């Protein structure tokens, strides 16, 4: 049974290699066929794994596939840990990836228009794009299937690399290059923490293997370390917080969130796949995977909870004032990722992962629908130049509506169940920071509804604000675009209804997620569980639903009923707008504070340390002496035979003296 | 006891010797363009020899011809590596020879003679066999270096190689005579027995110093390396390719049989001498390579530094160290073959690649070749993921395990210096502006072999266990 696991990551990798290296020869059709085939194989096998793990009653698999090296007792290896958590992630990743692959055929069909004429990078860009997204699928699968930190880190960095390549895919645009550099640098900060966390675990528990680390941590829960002399810190807490710093980078939590909105410079399919559905959820997956560690540290969980809550609420607010269609969805992603971390922080790991799954579907759907609008609008992304698209693009309209309803948490839609569960769980939690988190996520519901329907009304209803030329070309997108939309809409609507009971209150995750009994908020909620319908009806008695409804209503009033009002509000509440529009000045802080400060410091070090001391004395000094030595050697290599023979005889003599002399004790 | 030697045990050598005659005759009488018959017969010879060798000698521990010939696993690994590298050299050479109108059947005959010499060397169990094998392969090599009769540089290189080679043979022979005088035997087993019993035999110790010089010359270790740059540059590139690969394995054979087996008891003494050679080779090889502008000359000096690494492994004097040295020589051969093939198969403005700067724009013109070059240079530098990393790791590990930590540290410092000129090659190939004509002249088949060569360097780097296990088994 296990022997096919290896093909799950390998199939997309093969596709990526063929499309990437042979793109010139196999052409466009060849490239998308081979990568889609690879991802399809992987998707089918993943679903098979999920089936076997949940319905087939298969035991979790934990085994090594390939050992690259053993250094000082530490195995550097590729190994898989396949349990239900992994199987769910694999299925989500491969399914969304497959949809995105198909969609890309339509989205990138006229990619040559996005490049300056005669650009070298623009040749075969279509094939390259497919190679990248297939490579991403491989990396993501390596990440989720890992059974050790080395492979996790490999996957972690590999998805980061592909994300970097794809954000800057249109490398002829300065804004894209800026954005990918930014994503890269911000992720460096997170990855540094992540690496330190792995290092801490390795140093104190002597292993990289998940299960071995869990056992070792359980065996000595009180282990402490001294970072500053005299202050004892719990190893688990330090390691968990450091790992979470990595998760903050990858999953764009405040204050490391600044790269995600800018990443929208990349083509829309990857915004859907990488920057909404899969890669950015790697942090959530990682924390859930490490639940046995996090459960041992109240402090770390509180940090997760508070950071998640801040992101969930404040990033949602920014979404209200954005005008770029993709940026609105991007801020919504940030906010929803915050929700997931809130769930993790409240020890409701299952709820976090559940929201991850439903979010993956409806957010991918929203992005792809936004992409469909962008195709129709000829790559115009400003919502102020849209409006009334409903009659031109019915399929996009209806699927986007379903996605938005799921996002804001309308009863019977998937997002409702996952988000409501999170809010209930936080409400039931008594962890430090949980009251703040509860209000943040509750108010966040209103904000979510407001920006979602602001976008919806601005794009599809109201006056048609585009120019005449664009209007005449408006039409529904081709089948390769709309079919994935429809296929993604199905789980966006139905998944929650069916999955909530086993995932949250049943034994779906079995042993793959560990929750301490004292922290198990989901069990508390589960004790009142009386079926899906009762849960849904119960929502009528909670404020959540009314917050969402109020959000939609306000959006309707402001953008359809009284479209002049927003401008007026903007004028009256100028300071608030200013704060939101400049995104709390995080970008400025980083650019002038860190980047500017870094540059200034770098300048000083360069002038003083580098140019004067290192270059002048050390490097050039060394280089000069090596250069001189090489010059001497060159002269010795004169080309004259007798010189060579002479050197040999001298060598022989030297060896003899050195050696016989050494033997006789002459030296 | 029968007086009839066991011919069957030496079947591979007999087969190759017979085939040399057949190739020679066939080349005269079988019509056909460009000695195609000889070419295919040669490859067939090597393939069958590999099969015969593995079939008859793997795991054996038998002697024949009055104990002058030994068939054992070590010999098998050495010989199969030699066949493989020689075959690679013949395959790569063909196109270049035809283009330069040098394609004559004698190339293969001489090449096979060299192979036969190396085989005899690999299976030698007496000073006499060692010398016969060594000379057979050296003489064939001298002739090959002069293969381009109309070229002055080729002739000059051959003459230098020959004179210095003769000098080193003389020194080696002189050392052998002392060893014979000290032990009264030519048989390596008996020499080993005497050496073990009489550790202070000054005559033997003196002889050992001379033997080391002979071995060091074959390797091209400093200060016996002077021939390498001139010969590598002067010889026709196909010959350089051949000279730079299989003979390195043969040199390991020479060392293993003569010093490792025969005078293993004197390990303490020859270790000191090897350490001197290692340090000098690493230093001179790497530093001189830094200032080279000619690509073949750069590779020549890089060979010298790699020899330093091979000797570092052998110096350890343990099974682990021998295996590491063997592994290094074999994998270096594979890598170097690819690098020299690159020189042959690329042409700038109608000429073979000469200077490093001729590679500029390779990435833009021939992305595939540039990638292969990247893998080869990475492997030579020793970057993880390529086989060169494991080769370096194993020799350094072997040195550390016998307590020479500072020597290992020195080796690492020099491999960092080495990184500079390998990366410089890549910098030129990837980032310098393309100008002029840079063409991959060889037909598709050669490119496939080259790509396979690059891939082998990568795959062996990812899955090195099998080859390491073979090298260990050869010495167990």
Residue B1 has pLDDT above 70, yes or no: no
Which among A123, A121, A128 has a CA at the least distance from the CA of A104? A128
Interface of A with B in 11-30 (CB under 8 A): 21
Residues A354, A141: Cα–Cα separation, whole Å: 18
Q: What is the mean pLDDT of residues B202-226?
A: 90
Q: pLDDT tens, B410-435?
A: 999 999 888 989 999 999 999 888 87
CB contact under 8 A, B213 and A647: no
Whether residue B183 contacts residue B138, with contact meaning beta carbons closer than 8 Å, is answered with no
pLDDT tens digits, A531-557:
888 888 888 888 888 889 999 999 888
| A408/A447 Cα distance (integer angstroms) | 9
Q: Give the pLDDT score at A471.
A: 84
pLDDT in tens, A61-107: 888 888 877 777 788 888 999 999 999 999 999 999 999 999 999 88
User: Does residue A123 contact residue A25 with C-beta atoms inside 8 Å?
Assistant: no
- Residue A123 banded pLDDT, cuts 50, 70, 90: confident
pLDDT category at A485 given cuts 50, 70, 90 is: very high
Partner residues linked to B63 by β-bridges? B70
Inform me whether the C-beta atom of residue A635 falls under 8 Å from chain B C-beta atoms.
no
- The stretch A228-245 carries a mean pLDDT of 88
Q: Is the pLDDT of residue A238 over 80?
A: yes
CB A62 within 8 A of CB A79: yes
Interval A302-326: pLDDT, tens:
999 999 999 999 999 998 888 899 9
Q: Cβ of A662 under 8 Å from any chain B Cβ? A: yes
pLDDT at A664 over 70: no
List % helix, strand, coil for chain B (3-state, nearest 5): 80, 5, 15
Partner residue facing A626 (CB), from B163, B164, B290: B290
* Residue B249 included in any domain: no
- Position A645 confidence tier, pLDDT thresholds 50, 70, 90: confident
Strand partners, A70: A75
Would B47 be classed as within a structural domain?
A: no
In a domain, B216, yes or no: no
Average pLDDT over residues A241-261: 91
Evaluate whether residue B294 is within a structural domain: yes
What whole-number distance in Å separates Cα of residue B409 and Cα of residue B400?
A: 9
pLDDT at B261: 86
A567 reaches B (C-beta below 8 A)? no
Mean pLDDT score of chain A: 87
The whole-angstrom separation of Cα A486 and Cα A400 is 10
B173 assigned to some structural domain: no
Look at residue A1 and tell me whether its pLDDT is greater than 70: no
Q: Is residue A232 within 8 angstroms of chain B, CB to CB?
A: no
pLDDT at A10 over 70: yes
d(CA A278, CA A359): 10
Q: Which of B213, B226, B417 sits opposite A644 (nearest CB)?
A: B226
Per-residue pLDDT of B3-15, as tens digits, reads 678 888 899 999 9
Q: A626 touching B, CB under 8 A?
A: yes
**B43 pLDDT above the threshold of 90:** yes
CA A20 to chain B, closest CA, distance in angstroms equals 12
Distance CA A427, CA A423 (A): 6
Could you tell me which residues come within 8 angstroms of residue A585 by beta carbon, excluding any fewer than 6 positions away? none
Cβ contact, residue pair B213, A627, below 8 Å: no
Cβ atoms of B222 and B294 within 8 Å: the answer is no
Q: Is B71 helix (H, G, I), strand (E, B) or coil?
A: strand
How many degrees, rounded to 5, is the angle at CA A410 between CA A267 and CA A440? Answer: 80
Using the Cβ of A665 and the Cβ atoms of chain B, whether some distance falls under 8 Å is answered with: no
Mutate to test the interface with B, among A128, A655, A657, A662 (most CBs of B within 10 A): A655
Lowest mean pLDDT among A456-470, A634-648, B413-427: A634-648
The model's pLDDT over B85-112, given as tens digits with 9 standing for 90+, comes to 999 999 999 988 888 888 888 899 999 9
Using CA atoms of B11, B15, B16, B21 in order, give the dihedral in degrees to the nearest 10.
150
| Contacting residues of A for B211, CB less than 8 Å apart | none
Vertex B339, ends B334 and B341: CA angle to 5°? 95
Please give the residue range of the domain that contains residue B276.
Answer: 268-476
Residues of B in contact with A648 (CB under 8 A): 164, 167-168, 171, 213, 217, 223-224, 226
Of all helices (H) and strands (E), which one includes residue B393? helix B387-401
High-pLDDT (> 70) share of chain B, %: 99
How many whole angstroms separate alpha carbon A265 and alpha carbon A276? 14
CB A267 within 8 A of CB A107: yes
- Name the H helices within A411-515: 414-428, 434-460, 468-473, 479-500
A437-453 residue pLDDT tens: 999 999 999 999 999 99
Summarize pLDDT for A401-449 with one digit per residue, the tens. Answer: 999 999 998 888 999 999 989 998 998 888 888 999 999 999 999 999 9
CB contacts of A629 in chain B (<8 Å) are 287
Residue B279 forms part of a structural domain: yes
Distance from CA of A427 to the nearest CA of B (A): 51
Interchain CB contact of B168 with A (< 8 Å): yes
Residue B131, pLDDT > 90, answer: yes
- Measure the CA–CA gap between A304 and A302, rounded to whole angstroms: 5
Q: Looking at the partner chain, which of B226, B273, B417 has a beta carbon nearest the beta carbon of A637?
A: B226
Q: Would the CA dihedral through A406, A409, A413, A414 be positive or negative?
A: positive
Check CB contact under 8 Å for B462 and A68: yes
- In this prediction, residue A618 carries a pLDDT of 67
Check residue A605 and give its pLDDT: 77
For residue A456, name the pLDDT band (cuts at 50, 70, 90). Answer: very high
Give the pLDDT mean for A31-39. 93
Is B169 inside any structural domain? no
Q: CB of A641 within 8 Å of any CB in chain B?
A: yes
Give the total number of structural domains in chain B: 1
Among chain B residues, the shortest Cα distance to A76 is held by B462
Q: Which residues contact A35 (CB under 8 A, 6 or more apart)?
A: A12, A15, A16, A19, A101, A130, A131, A133, A134
Q: How far is B83 from chain A (nearest CA, A)?
A: 29
Q: In the predicted model, what is the mean pLDDT of residues A18-29?
A: 88
**Nearest CA-CA partner of B167 in B218, B104, B106:** B218
Better-scored residue on pLDDT, A110 or B44:
B44
Q: Which of A552-561, A641-650, B160-169 is modeled with the greatest confidence?
A: B160-169
- pLDDT for residue B2: 57
Instruction: Give, for A71, the enclosing helix (H) or strand (E).
Output: strand A61-71
Contacts of B368 in chain A (CB under 8 A): 21
SS3 A55: coil
Count of CB pairs separated by less than 8 Å, A with B: 80
Higher pLDDT, A123 or B457: B457
Are A274 and A280 within 8 A, CB to CB?
A: yes
Give burial (CB, 10 Å; 0-12/13-18/19+) of B34: middle
pLDDT of residue A121 exceeding 70, the answer is yes
Alpha-carbon gap, residue B10 to B56, rounded angstroms: 8
Examine residue B445 and state whether it is found in any structural domain, yes or no: yes
Residues of A in contact with B159 (CB under 8 A): 641
The whole-angstrom separation of Cα B363 and Cα B374 is: 10
A646 in contact with B, Cβ within 8 Å: no
* 8 A C-beta contact, residue A414 and residue A362: yes
Of the partner residues B163, B171, B368, the one whose CB lies closest to the CB of residue A652: B171
User: Which positions in chain A touch B290 (Cβ < 8 Å)?
Assistant: 626-627, 630
Q: Does A651 touch chain B (CB under 8 A)?
A: yes
Q: For the residues of B74-105, what is the DSSP string, one character each?
A: HHHHHHHHHHHHHHHHHHHHHHHHHHTT---H
Burial B428-456 (b: 16+ CB within 10 A, else e): bbbebeeeeebebebeeebbebbbebbeb
* A658 in B contact zone (CB under 8 Å): yes
Chain-chain contact of A633 with B417 (C-beta, under 8 angstroms): no
Tell me: pLDDT of B250 over 70. Answer: yes
Residue B33: which pLDDT band, with cuts at 50, 70 and 90? confident
- pTM for the model: 0.74
Least confident among A103-112, A143-152, B395-404: A103-112
Q: What is the mean pLDDT of residues A137-161?
A: 93
Q: Is B288 on the interface with A (CB under 8 A)?
A: yes
Complex confidence, ipTM: 0.82
Contact at CB, A644 and B209, closer than 8 angstroms: no
Q: Does A655 lie at the interface with B, CB-CB under 8 angstroms?
A: yes
The Cα B277–Cα B312 span in angstroms is: 9
Which range (A110-114, A277-281, A341-345, A367-371) has the least confidence? A110-114
Measured between CB atoms, does B448 come within 8 Å of chain A?
A: no
As to burial, measured by CB atoms within 10 angstroms (0-12 exposed, 13-18 middle, 19+ buried), residue A227 is: exposed
């Amino acid at each position: 049974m296990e022997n096919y696991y290896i093909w799950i990551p390998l199939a997309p990798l093969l596709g990526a290699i063929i499309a990437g290296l042979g793109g010139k020869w196999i052409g466009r059709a060849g490239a998308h066929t081979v990568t889609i085939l690879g991802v399809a194989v992987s998707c089918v096998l993943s679903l098979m794994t999920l089936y076997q793990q949940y319905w087939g009653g298969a035991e979790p698999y934990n085994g090594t596939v390939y050992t690259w090296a053993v250094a000082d007792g530490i195995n550097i290896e590729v190994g898989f840990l396949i349990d239900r958590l992994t199987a769910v992630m694999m299925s989500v990743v491969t399914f969304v990836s497959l949809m995105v692959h198909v969609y890309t055929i339509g989205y990138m069909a006229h990619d040559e228009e996005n490049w300056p004429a005669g650009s070298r990078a623009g040749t075969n860009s279509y094939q390259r794009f497919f190679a990248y997204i297939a490579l991403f699928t491989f990396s993501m699968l390596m990440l989720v299937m890992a059974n050790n930190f080395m492979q996790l880190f490999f996957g972690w960095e590999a998805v980061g690399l592909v994300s970097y390549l794809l954000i800057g895919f249109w490398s002829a645009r300065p804004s894209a290059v800026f954005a990918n550099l930014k994503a890269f640098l911000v992720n460096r900060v997170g990855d540094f923490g992540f690496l330190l966390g792995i290092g801490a675990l390795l140093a104190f528990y002597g292993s990289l293997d998940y299960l071995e680390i869990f056992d070792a941590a359980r065996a000595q829960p009180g282990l402490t370390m001294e970072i500053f002399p005299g202050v004892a810190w719990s190893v688990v807490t330090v390691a968990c917080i450091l790992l979470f710093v990595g998760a903050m980078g990858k999953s764009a939590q405040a204050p490391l969130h600044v790269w995600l909105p800018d990443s929208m410079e990349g083509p829309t399919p990857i915004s859907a796949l990488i920057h909404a559905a899969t890669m950015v959820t790697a942090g959530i997956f990682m924390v859930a995977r490490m639940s046995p560690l996090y459960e041992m540290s109240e402090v770390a969980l509180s940090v997760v909870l508070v950071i998640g809550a801040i992101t969930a609420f404040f990033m949602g607010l920014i979404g209200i004032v954005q005008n770029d269609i993709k940026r609105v969805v991007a801020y919504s992603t940030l906010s929803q990722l915050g929700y997931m971390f809130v769930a993790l922080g409240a020890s409701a790991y299952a709820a976090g992962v559940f929201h991850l799954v439903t979010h993956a579907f409806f957010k991918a759907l929203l992005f792809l629908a936004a992409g469909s609008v962008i195709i129709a609008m000829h790559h115009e992304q400003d919502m102020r130049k849209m409006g009334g698209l409903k009659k031109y693009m019915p399929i996009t309209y209806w699927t986007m509506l379903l996605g938005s309803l799921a996002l804001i948490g309308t009863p019977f839609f998937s997002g409702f169940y996952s988000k409501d569960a999170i809010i209930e769980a936080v409400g039931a939690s008594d962890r430090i920071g949980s009251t703040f988190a509860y209000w943040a996520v509750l108010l966040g519901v209103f904000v979510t509804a407001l920006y979602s329907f602001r976008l919806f009304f601005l794009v599809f209803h109201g006056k048609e604000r585009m120019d005449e030329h664009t209007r005449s070309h408006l039409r529904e997108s081709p089948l390769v675009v709309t079919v994935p939309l429809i296929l993604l809409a199905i789980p966006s609507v139905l998944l929650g209804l069916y999955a909530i009971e086993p995932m949250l209150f049943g034994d779906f995750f079995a042993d793959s997620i560990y929750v301490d009994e004292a922290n198990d908020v989901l069990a508390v909620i589960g004790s009142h569980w009386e079926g899906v319908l009762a849960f849904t009806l119960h929502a009528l008695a909670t404020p959540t639903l009314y917050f969402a409804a109020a959000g939609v209503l306000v959006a309707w009033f402001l953008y359809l009923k009284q479209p002049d009002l927003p401008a007026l509000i903007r004028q009256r509440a100028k300071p608030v707008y200013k704060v939101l529009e400049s995104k709390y000045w995080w970008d400025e802080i980083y650019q002038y504070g860190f980047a500017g400060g870094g540059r200034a410091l770098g300048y000083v070090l360069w002038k003083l340390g580098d140019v004067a001391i290192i270059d002048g004395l050390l490097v050039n000094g060394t280089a000069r002496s090596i250069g001189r030595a090489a010059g001497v050697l060159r002269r010795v290599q004169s080309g004259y035979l007798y010189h060579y023979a002479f050197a040999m005889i001298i060598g022989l003599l030297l060896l003899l003296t050195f050696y016989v002399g050494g033997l006789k004790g002459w030296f | 006891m029968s007086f009839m030697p066991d011919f069957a045990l030496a079947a591979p050598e007999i087969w190759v010797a017979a085939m040399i005659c057949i190739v020679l005759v066939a080349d005269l009488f079988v019509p056909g363009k460009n000695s195609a018959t000889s070419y295919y017969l040669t490859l067939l010879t090597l393939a069958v020899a590999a099969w015969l060798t593995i079939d008859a000698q793997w795991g054996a521990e038998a002697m024949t011809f009055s104990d002058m010939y030994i068939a054992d696993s070590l010999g098998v690994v050495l010989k199969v590596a030699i066949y493989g590298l020689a075959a690679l050299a013949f395959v790569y050479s063909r196109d270049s020879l035809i283009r330069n109108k040098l394609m004559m059947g004698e190339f293969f005959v001489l090449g096979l003679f060299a192979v036969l010499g190396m085989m005899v060397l690999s299976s030698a169990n007496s000073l006499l066999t060692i010398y016969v094998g060594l000379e057979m392969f050296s003489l064939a090599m001298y002739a090959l270096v002069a293969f381009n009769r109309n070229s002055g540089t080729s002739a000059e290189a051959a003459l230098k190689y020959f004179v210095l080679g003769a000098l080193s043979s003389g020194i080696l022979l002189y050392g052998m005579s002392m060893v014979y005088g000290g032990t009264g035997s030519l048989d390596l087993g008996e020499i080993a027995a005497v050496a073990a019993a009489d550790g202070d035999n000054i005559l033997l110790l003196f002889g050992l110093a001379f033997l080391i010089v002979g071995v060091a010359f074959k390797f091209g270790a400093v200060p016996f390396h002077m021939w390498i740059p001139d010969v590598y540059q002067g010889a026709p590139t196909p010959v350089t390719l051949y000279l730079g690969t299989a003979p390195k394995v043969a040199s390991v054979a020479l060392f293993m049989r003569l010093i490792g087996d025969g005078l293993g008891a004197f390990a303490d003494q020859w270790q000191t001498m090897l350490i001197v050679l290692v340090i000098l080779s690493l230093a001179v090889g790497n530093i001189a390579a830094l200032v080279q502008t000619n690509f073949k000359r750069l590779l020549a000096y890089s060979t010298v530094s790699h020899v330093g690494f091979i000797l570092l492994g052998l110096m350890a004097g343990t099974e682990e160290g021998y295996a590491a040295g063997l592994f290094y020589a074999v994998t270096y051969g594979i890598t170097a073959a690819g690098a020299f093939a690159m020189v042959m198969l690329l042409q700038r403005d109608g000429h073979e690649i000469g200077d490093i700067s001729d590679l500029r724009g390779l990435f833009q013109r021939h992305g595939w070749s540039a990638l292969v070059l990247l893998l080869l240079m990475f492997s030579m530098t020793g970057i993880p993921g390529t086989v060169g990393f494991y080769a370096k790791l194993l020799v350094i590990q072997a040195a550390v395990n016998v307590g020479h930590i500072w020597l290992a540290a020195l080796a690492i410092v020099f491999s960092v210096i080495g990184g500079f000129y390998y990366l410089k090659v890549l910098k030129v190939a990837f980032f310098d502006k393309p100008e002029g004509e840079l063409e991959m002249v060889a037909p598709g088949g050669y490119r496939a072999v080259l790509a396979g060569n690059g891939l082998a360097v990568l795959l062996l780097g990812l899955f090195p266990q099998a080859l390491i296990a073979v090298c260990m088994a050869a010495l167990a």
